[in-house]
Structure 1
Amino acid sequence: MRTLLMMAGGTGGHVFPALAVAQVLRERGIEVVWLGTRRGFEAHSVPEAGFDMEWISIRGLRGKGWWGWWVAPLRLTVALVQSVMVILRRRPDALLGMGGFVAGPGGLAAWLLRKPLLIHEANAVAGFTNRWLALVAQRVMTGFPHSVGIDPKRGIYIGNPLRADIVAMDRRNNTEPDSKAPLNLLVVGGSQGARVFNNIVPLALAALAIEQRPSVRHQCGRGNREAASLAYRDAGINGVAPSEFIDDMAKAYAWADVVLCRAGAMTVAELSAMGVTALLVPYPHAISGHQTANARFLSEHQAGVLLPESELTPQCLAEWLGKFHARRDLLAGFGQRALSLSRPQATAEVAQICMERMCA
């Protein structure tokens, strides 16, 4: 049986797409082993999906101060040695890096041991690790047509792998809804958007005439439900019950007419696949401004609205919601153009490229 060592971790934005690829490979008879850390999102989600884990010790350097940079060489050396030992023990036919700190030492170990290395860069601006790994990888796949930091001659535009539930969901037909019905607004805050959305959305709804106010589903982020609920009550908005986490995002996207969210690569890919209109507020502290670049991909095609956080006020949000309420044709047009940019076969294509490399 062929074996692939998957390197992805840290956040759901790295792990979910990698899991989607891993599940396709498993269905095709490939053994997938996961390289990760005990601190990241992968520590629980990957074993729950039935994949074997191999652990290394690595963490990010940004925001750790002088001490973090002082001990970085030692930590990287330890992680590199651990990665080499995993490769020697597991003997994978190829390695696939899909983001997160583990891809650095894992990718370097693959290069040292002359193992086939493939990487997938999810964002429109490549991260530091992938910029370097792209120089030695046998295959470089990208989630956007032009990823800054990746040589266009080496990068293959695939799109971002999607979870099976997103791919399986019926695509939105984008017919114009009844103009008298309230819009359905999905607010996805999460860890990097909870507070700003929790504060602004209730005030924006309060600024709208009652007949213009949308129905709202609000993911407010872990530990923020009480504060978000209080913000709605203080604004005089009833009928909204914020939740810390939405289990079935595919159904939530299908329900929504408009989504207010950040602009992570996975989010942008899912919005496009579902053909839903989005108000994209990039996380302002994202490394290299990659979320702004991700959002710009949709906004430049009139497939989404880019709203810098510095410009996101209750009045600004209310104006957009009021415009979409009155102009359902405008709303439908954004969704149709988003759908036209989707790459629903990205998961299968990444898996196929991996298989071709393993069998070469």
Structure 2
Amino acid sequence: MRVLLAGGGTAGHTSPLLATAAVLAEAGDDITCLGTPKGLEVTLIPEAGFPLELVPPVPLPRRPNADLVRLPANLRRTVKATLGVIDRVRPDVVVGFGGYVSVPAYLAARRRKLPIVVHEGNALPGVANKLGARLTTHVAVSFPDTDLRGATYTGLPIRRQIADLDRDALRDEGRRYFGLDADRPTILVTGGSQGARRINTTMAAASRDLAAAGVQVLHAAGRPEEVELDRRAGDPPYVVERYIDRIDLAYAAADLVVCRSGANTVTEVAAVGLPAVFVPLPIGNGEQALNAHPVVGAGGGLLVEDAAFTPAWVDSAVVPLVTSPERLAHMSRAASGIVRRDAAEQLAQLIHRAAQERR
């Protein structure tokens, strides 16, 4: 089977695409990915070994501006380019993961009468996938309460190294890998690949309180210059990295994670049973807070607004939590029962069923 996977721009679209591509490739399918020159897919997809076709981006403005005026012409141009890709690749099915590139993929697939599969990563659907869901009966969502036409709950595809992770078995290795002490309470901090200023500056300002409580930190900052530490001799380790490639070992090393609540992050930390403090991105449509609600509601995480995430809050809420093995164990059990670890396999099966429509 030949499959065209459309998605990119951010890790939220690219990561589930790559997790699904890996399962399909293992089944013997031929994979081609569709993206734009401006997204993370330009790097991540070739690094994963999959062919990537690029088409011009089509911004979908949420309010009147110059992009809205140019939208019809831009969309026609990109649909034409996507039709060219489809005519060369000749896929049996087109799968969209949202983002700018999915709209032309859906429209071009419809014009060529190809089966379409839509996967929505967030709890609150985006504009692209709301459109895609009107063009197909094959719609998958990451969260069971997502309001999207004809949706089936498959979960969010995550990488196999995460889906199969045994945190307890790799804890010692993870702490050695990052230069952490073996037996201290450990917090992983991440604001995503680009970092998050509020998380970076707050955790840095709270570092003295964390050190006084014997807590060590592994901080993926994105922008390390925002993490200004006031260190004293004998303080527990506070390791700052720009980006963490071995996130599986970081999850294993940690007792607690402080993070944004993008769909991919929420799914990964819940799947591995890592208790979380979610600090949703304060812009957008509130989708990050909605992503975290199932895990928080089950007792697997805490939710704090960006503006309320201060050094004083860290001292009063995070320090008592990360130094309480009983609370952490309870949260870990609660989190691990919330999300599906087999989402990539579930979505691959849906893609195969959709492709049968053409045969």
Q: Same fold (TM over 0.5)?
A: yes
Instruction: Tell me how many residue pairs correspond in the alignment.
Output: 345
User: Is the 8 Å Cα contact of residues 205 and 318 (structure 1) preserved in structure 2?
Assistant: no
Deviations 1:238-276 (A, max 9, x none): 732311100111110111100000001010110111100
Partner of 1:315: 312
CA offset digits 1:48-68 (Å, max 9, x no partner)? 222222211014244897222
Q: CA deviation at 1:135?
A: 1.3
Residue 188 of structure 2 aligns with which residue?
Answer: 186
Aligned match of 1:166 in 138, 162, 169?
A: 162
| Partner Cα separation in structure 2 for residue 213 and residue 255 of structure 1 | 16
Contact 1:193 1:283 in 2 (8 A): no
Identify if the C-alpha distance between structure 1 residues 281 and 235 changes in structure 2 by more than 3 Å, giving closer, same or farther: farther
CA 1:323–1:359 in 2, change beyond 3 Å: closer, same or farther? Answer: same
Cα distance in 2, alignment partners of residues 227 and 322 from structure 1: 22
Equivalents in 1 of 2:339, 2:167: separation in Å?
Answer: 11
Q: How does 1:93-172 map to 2 (within 5 A)?
A: 93-148=92-147, 150-151=148-149, 154-172=150-168
Which position in structure 2 is the counterpart of 1:202? Answer: 204
- Could you tell me how far apart the structure 2 residues matched to 1:256 and 1:209 are? 16
Structure 2 CA distance, aligned partners of 1:171 and 1:241?
A: 20
One-letter amino acid matched to 2:334? R
How far apart in 1 are the matches of 2:113 and 2:35?
Answer: 21
Identify the residue that residue 23 of structure 2 maps to in structure 1. Answer: 24
Deviation track 1:75-100 (CA, whole Å, cap 9, x = no partner) reads: 11111111122222222100111122
- Quick check: 1:301 aligned with 2:303? no
AA in 1 matched with 2:165? M
The alignment partner of 1:162 has SS state of coil
Pair 1:172–1:108, CA change in 2 (3 A): farther
Preserved CA contact (<8 Å) 1:172 1:276 = no
Aligned-partner Cα distance in 2 for 1:101–1:169: 32
Gaps of 5+ in 1: 174-180
- 1:253 counterpart SS class: helix
Normalised by the length of structure 1, the TM-score is: 0.90
Name the counterpart of 1:356: 353
Aligned counterpart for 1:332 among listed residues 308, 329, 336: 329
What CA distance in whole angstroms lies between the structure 2 residues aligned with 1:359 and 1:304? 41
Paired residue for 1:178?
none
CA gap of 1:141–1:172, structure 2 versus 1, over 3 A, is farther
Q: Could you tell me how far 1:8 is from its partner in structure 2?
A: 0.9
Matched, 1:241 2:242: no
Distance 1:108 1:93 in 2: 15
Residue 309 to residue 193, structure 1, CA distance change in 2 (3 Å) = farther
Unaligned runs of 5+ residues in structure 2 are: 170-182
Determine the C-alpha separation between the residues in 2 that align with 1:100 and 1:235.
46
2:193–2:243 CA contact under 8 A, matched in 1? no
Is it true that 1:13 corresponds to 2:12 in the alignment? yes
Distance 1:238-1:257 versus aligned 2 partners, 3 A rule: closer
Q: Deviations over 1:142-190 (max 9, x none)?
A: 0000113x13xx11001100102112321559xxxxxxx5311000023
Q: Which deviations, in whole Å up to 9, do the C-alpha atoms of 1:82-128 show, x marking residues without a partner?
A: 11222222221001111221001111111222110001101110001
CA distance in 1, matches of 2:215, 2:146: 36
RMSD: 2.2
Partners of 1:204 and 1:6 in 2: CA distance? 43
